Amino acid sequence: MKQIRYIWHVSKEVHGRLLAIALVVMIYTILNLISPLIFSFYIDSVLGSEPVTNPLFLFLIDVAGSTEVLRNNLWTGFLLILFVYCFVCLFQYLRGRLNAVVGETVTRNIRNELYDHLQHVHYSYHVKNKSGDLIQRCTSDVDQVRRFISAQYSEMVYSLCTALIASVLLFSIHQDLAKLAVVTMPILIVFAYWFFTKAQKIFRCSDESEGVLTDKLTESISGIRVIKAFNRELYEMERYDECNKDFLDKTFELLKQLGLYWSFSDLICYIQILIIVLAGTIMAHRGNLSVGNLFVFISYESMILWPIRNLGRILADLGKLSVSIDRLLEILNVPVESTEGKSISVEGKIEFKDVCFGYENQPNVLNHVSFTIEKGQTVAILGPTGSGKSSMIHLISRLYDPISGQVLIDGVPTVELEKKNLRMQVGLVLQEPFLFSKTIEENILIARKDASKEDLHRAAKIASVHDVIEEFDAGYQTMIGEKGVTLSGGQKQRVAIARTIVNQTPILIFDDSLSAVDAQTDANIREALKSVSDLCTTLIITQRINSAKDADLILVLEHGQITQSGTHKSLLSEEGLYKRVAEIQARGEE
């Protein structure tokens, strides 16, 4: 039922068209069933002498004047059948057009809903789930819904209407032969349902295997530079081949079941047709059935059996649809981030009060961390890899919330602040910057479309990238390619820094983002940042002493705890990690 409710929900724009498809298919089915009756009428009553009981043909005789007139003008039968088939073609066109409109509209709605939902789920959901699997759900599973809505829905209506209407007509012509004509229908229906239950389980395994394959492909393409650098092409090919073989085996199992279904259902249908041909021929020979009605029975028998047989395919696709919708609902049922909370105008004071934090696989990343950063201060946070530096940044921007203790912005706990409002006022430059396949200008102004040229150039100059951009032929209109592939690592980092600076946020955070630039550029950026330091609170996550030494306050983080705090001068005068790192880096420079 949840699958039906979801389809009804995403098709709310086209509910009327869904009903229109059912109506059009019913009319199309009736018109399709009329042509054998016309043949029967001309064979039995126009060329033969069988009495006419059908009201439609009685009306035709009244219009013509008599059956004699129709017998002398057999071309009228040709025109009548041609007229019927013209309308059959018209309604077939309407059916196809409505199928396309409904299918594409529903697909668009699902894609938009999925994309919007994925944008608003908690950050931890994206960390825990594989991007390839999410991509596969948003493409292959959505396409499965599209195929069913745009094809199998109307086909299901057609199959049911054809079977019901044709059965009624057959029983009205000859009850005994009609009973023979539908004797295998229950067998086909039960067989189709059995295939449906079997295929549904296999399709889920196949779909999940395809998700693993897509994730492997996504990972390999994203990491192609590393693969080539370490000559791992053969190894990655072998891993991909394993995933591909697993997908092939599970899909082949589904195809084997399809082959069994089609072969056995074909056998049942041909036996049923043979029974009708033999029994109908005997009845016609004995005079219990007219030749025209025998023609109707043989024609209708195919019209009944093949649609019922096709229910197996429809049910198989229905099983696929059910699995695909379940996989989509797994995403849509994930709670989104709360939009509730206070909206404040951030000034820049940051406090950590006895904060503890951990991930599912790392429960003790931060342990009872406490410190205060005043408005307008520049603070450097230094510590070894895994000490919890980036986790502190995640807590400030509310990508995560502390397990215990409080993180306060201007005296207000972050858990009480509305996330979107907070993040708009916290500028963050990540260690691995992500740039979009747009121009340099569009990348820098991505969060502030109304910025002036002066603001754009000022931010680029602070990030020490303005002169580099000006050297490009197209300047700020230079296309930088997917993920900024046409720029060097340092250039990408500086463009990302400019993107953050141009927003003029009251809190500015550099998460080890100066590591990709040389020492001189690092010094230039820090010197230029002094022009905005009075306007914002600046946090610099770093492992370079040179990047930290000019800060108003330096925090040394080890094993999730602050072990030292002070200025560059005071920390050099005491034993500890900071002094040891400073000495090592000084010897390295020498």
Tens-digit pLDDT profile for residues 458-507: 888 888 888 888 888 888 888 887 666 677 777 888 888 888 888 888 99
Q: Could you give the residue range(s) of every CATH 3.40.50.300 domain in the chain?
A: 350-425+505-589
Query: β-strand 404-409 against 561-566: which pairing, if any?
Result: unpaired
Whether 329 and 2 have beta carbons less than 8 Å apart is answered as yes
Measured CA distances, 91 to 87, 88, 147, 204, 294 (Å):
6, 5, 20, 36, 28
Q: What is the predicted pLDDT for the residue at 57?
A: 66
Q: Does domain 350-425+505-589 have CATH number 3.40.50.300?
A: yes
Q: What is the predicted pLDDT for the residue at 406?
A: 92
DSSP bridge pairs for 408: 351, 413
- Average pLDDT of the segment spanning 183-209: 75
Q: Give buried/exposed letters for 475-502 (b at 16+ CB in 10 A, else e).
A: ebebebeeebebbeebbbbbbbbbbbbb
Asked if residue 137 has pLDDT above 80, the reply is yes
- Average pLDDT of the segment spanning 442-471: 84
Whether 494 and 517 have beta carbons less than 8 Å apart is answered as yes
For residues 382 and 392, what is the distance between their CA atoms, to the nearest angstrom? 12
Query: β-strand 561-566 against 553-558: which pairing, if any?
Result: antiparallel
- Average pLDDT of the segment spanning 434-459: 84
72's CB contacts (< 8 A; 6+ apart) are none
Asked if residue 590 has pLDDT above 60, the reply is no
Query: Which tops the pLDDT comparison, 519 or 366?
Result: 366
Per-residue pLDDT of 302-359, as tens digits, reads 777 777 777 767 776 777 788 788 888 888 998 888 878 888 888 889 999 999 998 8
Alpha helix ranges (H) inside 381-488: 389-396, 419-423, 440-444, 453-462, 466-471
Query: Which tops the pLDDT comparison, 452 or 181?
Result: 452
Least confidently predicted of 59-73, 200-214, 553-567: 59-73
180's CB contacts (< 8 A; 6+ apart) are 275, 276, 279
Name the average pLDDT for the chain: 82
- Average pLDDT of the segment spanning 221-228: 74
Phi/psi class of residue 39: alpha, beta or left (left: φ > 0; alpha: ψ in -120 to 50)? alpha
At the top level of CATH, the class of 2-332 is mainly alpha
For residues 441 and 495, what is the distance between their CA atoms, to the nearest angstrom? 9
Q: What is the predicted pLDDT for the residue at 251?
A: 82
Q: What percent of the chain has pLDDT over 90?
A: 8
Asked if residue 515 has pLDDT above 80, the reply is no
Per-residue pLDDT of 77-96, as tens digits, reads 778 888 888 988 999 999 99
Q: Could you give the residue range(s) of every CATH 1.20.1560.10 domain in the chain?
A: 2-332
